[in-house]
Structure 1
Amino acid sequence: MKEQFLDLSKNRRSIYALGRNVSQSPDEIANLIQENIKWAPTPFNNQTTRAIILFGENHEKLWDIVADRLKSEVPSEEAYQKTLQKINAFKAAFGTVMFFTDVDVVKANEDAFPLYADNFSDWSEQAQGNAQYAVWTSLAENGIGANLQHYNPIIDDLVKDAFNVPDNWKLRAQLDFGSIEAGAGDKDFMDDADRFRVLK
C-alpha cells in the first residue's frame, strides 16, 4: 500500500510555538492556500467555502481584535493575562487564514434541491473540514506549522467591520500559521477496538 498521503497526514499537527522565519513569500503561501481550497471537495460542487488570508499588520489586527473582545469574557484580570499569553502566541505567527461559509450559496442550494434541503448546512460544515484539513496538511508539507482556532461567533461583527467581510460570509475558523519554533508532543489514540469495525 502507498502511504505518502498518510505520512503527510501524520506530519500535520497542532503547532502552537509559531514564528515568522518562513522561507516562502506571502504570495506563494496565499496561492497554496487558495489552490487547496479550490480543489477541496464540496457537495454538488457548490463551493461554499470562502477565505481571507492575513499577513503583516492585518494578521496582527485580527489577534488584537480577539484579545480586546475576550477581555469582557474572562472572569478576572489574572485569567485575562493567561488568555492574552495564548493570543499573543497566535499573533507571533506569520499569518492567519480566516475560513468562512457563504450562507447565500447554502440557501440557494436548499431552495434548488428541496429533497436535500435539511442537509446543506451540515454539508457546508463538512466542506469546511475538507478545506481546512487540505490547507493545514499542505502547509505542513511545506514546513509551515499551524493551529486551528474558533473565536467565532463572538468576534464575527468586529471582524466583519475590520476586514470588510460580506454579510453573507459566516466566520467558521481561524488558522494561524508560521515557522515551527517547537514541535508538537506525542499524540495519544483511543483503542482501535472502540473506534473501528471491519466487517468482511
Structure 2
Amino acid sequence: MVLLQEKVSDFYNAVKERRTYYSINNEIILTNEELEELINLSVLHAPSAFNSQGDRVVLLVGEQHTKLWDITIETLSERLPADRFATTEAKLNGFKNGYGTVLFFEDLDVSNELQEKFPTYKDNIPSWFQQNSGILQYIVWTGLEQAGYGASVQHYNPLIDEKVRKEWNIPTSWNLLAQMPFGKPIAPPKEKQYQSLDHRVKVFK
C-alpha cells in the first residue's frame, strides 16, 4: 500500500472519500458556472464502448432542481398508499433540500446505431451503455464530493420519465437512467460495512 499511495494517493483518497449523503442543504459551494465545468469535463473524458459517447446529462439547479423533486413527490404520492408515503416524502424532501440534481441519460439513437453497425455485439451493447453511464456517474459523484458536496444516486425512473421529458423538453431518444441530488452535507454518512475481500477478489500469480 505504501507504493500505491506514493503513486496515486490523490486518486485513491478521492475513491475512499466518496460516500452516499442523504442529509444535504442548498448552501453554495461552487458557482453554477463551475458546476457546469465539472459536468462538462466529466462527460468529455468518461470512457464509452466504441467511443460511442452516448451519455447525456441534464444539470438542474435552483428552482429547476426543486421542480424535479416536486414532480417526484407528486408522482409517488399518486402511487403509494398514504401510510407508506410519509416516509418516502420525507426522503424526497431531503433531496429537494439540496442545491441541485444531475440527471443521467443514455441516447438510444446512438445505441441503436451501434447495434446495427456491430450486429455481433447487438445483445451486449445495451448493457455496455449502462456501464458507460455508471462510469460517468461515478466520475461526477466523486468530483462533486471533492468539491465539498455530498451526493447520492437515485432511481425514480421510469415513474417520472414522461413528466421530466415534458418539463425540460428532453429528446424522446434520451432514456433516463439515474438522478443524483447533491448539496452541502449537514450530517455524516452512515457507517459503511465492508465484506471480506477474501471471497470478492481472486489473484493468480
What corresponds to 1:5 in structure 2?
11
Relative to the length of structure 1, the TM-score reads 0.97
- Structure 2 SS opposite 1:90: helix
Identity, % of aligned pairs? 39
What corresponds to 2:60 in structure 1?
54
Runs of 5+ in structure 2 lacking a partner? none
What corresponds to 1:169 in structure 2?
174
1:137-179 deviations in Å (ceiling 9; x for gaps): 0111111110110000011111111111100000000000111
1:67-119 deviations in Å (ceiling 9; x for gaps): 000012212x2321211111100000000001000000000001111121111
- Equivalenced residues, count: 199
1:22-76 deviations in Å (ceiling 9; x for gaps): 221111112101211211100111011101100111101100010000012212x
Stretches (4+) displaced over 6 A? none
| Pairwise CA distance, 1:194 | 1.5
| Pairwise CA distance, 1:188 | 0.8
What corresponds to 1:27 in structure 2?
33
User: Equivalent of 1:134, from 139, 157, 160?
Assistant: 139
User: Equivalent of 1:118, from 105, 118, 123?
Assistant: 123
1:192 paired with 2:189, answer no
User: Equivalent of 2:46, from 34, 40, 55?
Assistant: 40
User: Equivalent of 2:93, from 84, 88, 96?
Assistant: 88
Relative to the length of structure 2, the TM-score reads 0.94
Partner Cα distance (1:38, 1:183) in 2 = 31
- Structure 2 SS opposite 1:27: helix
Runs of 5+ in structure 1 lacking a partner? none
- Structure 1 SS opposite 2:182: strand
Which letter does structure 2 place at the counterpart of 1:18? Answer: I
- Structure 1 SS opposite 2:93: helix
Partner Cα distance (1:9, 1:18) in 2 = 20
Task: Give the stretch that moved more between structures: 45-54 or 181-190.
Answer: 181-190
Mapped contact 2:55–2:107 kept (Cα < 8 A) = yes
What corresponds to 2:155 in structure 1?
150
Mapped contact 1:22–1:144 kept (Cα < 8 A) = no
Partner Cα distance (1:81, 1:162) in 2 = 25
